[in-house]
């Protein structure tokens, strides 16, 4: 049996006993084969000493059990790493940041507590996946959509807390931004409800976001300040129609006015879908230097008016063509469903694995990827600079080898934000993984010199990326450390997550 670092066997056994009492012995996992299930199949350090692995796992089924588990961990100073469904692939999966932590597996807490159609929201537990929520809504016949990321087996809460985004419409696509109200178990075992949930008999917990006084919800995003046990989400009433068109240009420099047009349209909220920018042509757009995908959701006549307006803005740019897409009325017919990307219509699925040439059912996947995804200022000039930056530096980060790194093929747009992706294949070949790590680490440093940094990072690189956010001698990190020490003085929760370490593990 593995033992967490800095924990005596006696203390660990005492914690295990307390957990077995709290959750039942069948939900405390210590055998090598059980614990191996929590490994990150796509770890860039797979099978190497630096791979981050769990020592054990415990799976409570209720908030009270979470409280008991956390209290015992606090008493015996055992590091915990809460996960919801553990499907955070490419970002560490269900493996802890601090090797030897015990995974606090919340996937048994999988109740959809409420879906309110009139006020269009859901209240869920951490183990609820996008599939679960979709199934619940479909069975109940509610006229609501969810906003799935790809793939759909992940946790609705976990994805939001990790800063994930989906593929339908603004503002629902910003999963953390679309939440309303949380219940959190703190390191001391206390339950806190945020927003209107702090009112004992509140009926507006999922109606109103900010509540009264300092808003603490943000502290639980990409963090280690508590265990979120319930979270509300605003849902989109089913839009009556969706139409996605493409703006294209043959000329490299046209991305500057094209992105200005897109910014105007999105900032006016005339275009509300998951816009993307592709290098080159796409489908009917044929040969092009740039293609911008312009999806719009809403009532049919509104969508048509919005699309006409978007078309006018794009075609006012000399050389830009606008290829109007098909308008889909919802719900789609089976024939239509067979030829669209389902996530764009609120339907969770796993097709992204096929798209990436992978098989999620394989017990030991042959490989995956990690991504370097810096946020770049949302202008055409910055995008062109990023493209040049990528081309100029690719030979440098790979020592001239072709490692299969791809990017920036497409750029994804969130609210006001441009994310430029570079993808790194990760597999079982240690020498190749080492080259990928070198390339990744070099990109992080080179990008930071330009003022670009990631919004999210693989587990093993969360420190590296946190280091780039260094304004005023890492003032923001130091503030977070101060908060961490206050709220989790024994440092038992998710040590190291997003670069925040508890005092006893902190590098000076």
Distance in Å, CB of 153 to a copy of itself, minimum: 24
Is the separation of the CB atoms in 490 and 472 below 8 Å? no
* Cα–Cα distance, 68 to 50 (Å, whole number): 31
10 Å Cβ neighbour count for 1?
A: 12
Residue among 45, 131, 121 nearest 87 (CA)? 131
Residue 393 neighbours by CB under 8 Å, 6+ apart? 442, 443, 446
- Nearer Cβ to a copy of itself, position 301 or 396? 301
The pair of structure tokens assigned to 199 is 């009112």
- Nearer Cβ to a copy of itself, position 402 or 472? 472
Q: Is 108 exposed, middle or buried (0-12, 13-18, 19+ CB in 10 A)?
A: middle
In order of 182, 190, 197, 378, the CA distances from 212 in angstroms are: 14, 20, 10, 33
- Nearer Cβ to a copy of itself, position 48 or 215? 215
Distance in Å, CB of 295 to a copy of itself, minimum: 14
Q: Tell me, rounded to whole angstroms, the distance of Cα 290 from its chain centroid.
A: 27
- Nearer Cβ to a copy of itself, position 177 or 280? 177
Q: CA torsion, points 244, 249, 252, 255, in degrees to nearest 10?
A: -50
Distance in Å, CB of 91 to a copy of itself, minimum: 13
- Nearer Cβ to a copy of itself, position 1 or 264? 264
Residue among 377, 272, 256 nearest 317 (CA)? 256
Q: Tell me, rounded to whole angstroms, the distance of Cα 158 from its chain centroid.
A: 8
455 is catalytic: yes
The pair of structure tokens assigned to 346 is 């609120």
Catalytic residue among 91, 170, 461, 498: 91
Q: Specify the pairing of strand 102-105 against strand 56-58.
A: parallel
- Nearer Cβ to a copy of itself, position 365 or 377? 377
Beta strands in 226-366 (DSSP E): 227-234, 236-237, 241-249, 276-279, 290-298, 320-323, 327-329
Catalytic residue among 456, 477, 480, 497: 456
Distance in Å, CB of 247 to a copy of itself, minimum: 17
Distance in Å, CB of 427 to a copy of itself, minimum: 27
Which residues are known to be catalytic? 91, 455-456
């Amino acid at each position: 049996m593995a033992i967490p670092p800095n924990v005596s066997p006696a203390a660990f056994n005492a914690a295990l006993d307390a957990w077995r009492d709290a959750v039942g012995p069948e939900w405390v996992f210590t055998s090598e084969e059980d614990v191996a299930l929590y490994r990150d199949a796509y770890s860039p350090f797979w099978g190497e000493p630096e791979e981050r692995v769990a020592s054990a796992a415990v799976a409570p089924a209720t908030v009270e059990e979470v409280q008991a588990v956390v209290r015992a961990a606090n008493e015996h100073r055992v590091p915990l790493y809460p996960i919801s469904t553990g499907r955070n692939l490419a970002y560490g999966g269900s493996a802890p940041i601090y090797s030897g932590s015990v995974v606090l597996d919340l996937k048994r807490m999988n109740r959809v507590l409420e879906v309110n159609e009139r006020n269009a929201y859901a209240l869920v537990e951490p183990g609820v996946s996008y599939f679960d929520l979709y199934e619940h809504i479909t069975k109940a016949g509610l006229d609501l959509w969810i906003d799935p990321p790809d793939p759909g087996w992940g946790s609705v809460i976990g994805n939001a807390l990790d800063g994930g985004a989906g593929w339908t419409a603004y503002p629902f696509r910003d999963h953390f931004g679309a939440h309303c109200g949380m219940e959190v178990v703190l390191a001391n075992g206390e339950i806190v409800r945020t927003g209107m949930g702090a009112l004992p008999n509140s009926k507006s917990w999922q109606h109103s976001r900010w509540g009264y006084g300092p808003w603490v919800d943000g502290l639980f995003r990409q963090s280690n300040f508590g265990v979120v046990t319930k979270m509300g989400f605003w849902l989109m009433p089913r839009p009556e129609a969706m139409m996605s068109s493409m703006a294209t240009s043959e000329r490299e420099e046209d991305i500057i006015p094209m992105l200005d047009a897109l910014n105007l349209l999105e900032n006016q909220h005339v275009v509300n879908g998951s816009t993307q920018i592709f290098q080159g042509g796409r489908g009917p757009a044929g040969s092009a230097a740039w293609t911008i995908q312009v999806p719009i959701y809403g009532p049919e006549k509104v969508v048509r008016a919005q699309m006409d307006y978007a078309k006018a803005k794009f075609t006012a740019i000399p050389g830009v063509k606008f290829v109007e897409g098909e308008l889909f009325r919802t719900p789609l017919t089976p024939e239509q469903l067979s030829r669209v990307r389902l996530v764009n219509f609120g339907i969770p699925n796993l097709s992204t694995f096929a798209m990436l040439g992978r098989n999620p059912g394989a017990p030991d996947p042959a490989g995956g990827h990690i991504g370097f995804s810096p946020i770049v200022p949302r202008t055409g000039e910055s995008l062109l600079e990023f493209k040049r930056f990528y081309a100029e530096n690719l030979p440098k980060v790979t020592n001239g080898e072709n490692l299969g790194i791809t990017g920036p093929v497409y750029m994804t747009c969130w609210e006001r934000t441009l994310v430029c992706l570079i993808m790194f294949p990760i597999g079982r070949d240690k020498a190749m993984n080492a080259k990928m790590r070198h390339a990744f680490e070099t990109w992080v440093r080179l990008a930071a010199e330009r003022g670009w940094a990631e919004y999210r990072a693989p587990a093993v690189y969360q420190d590296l990326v946190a280091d780039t956010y260094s304004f005023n001698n890492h003032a923001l990190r130091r503030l977070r450390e101060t908060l961490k020490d206050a709220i989790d003085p024994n440092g038992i929760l998710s040590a190291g997550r997003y670069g925040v370490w508890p005092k006893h593990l902190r590098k000076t």
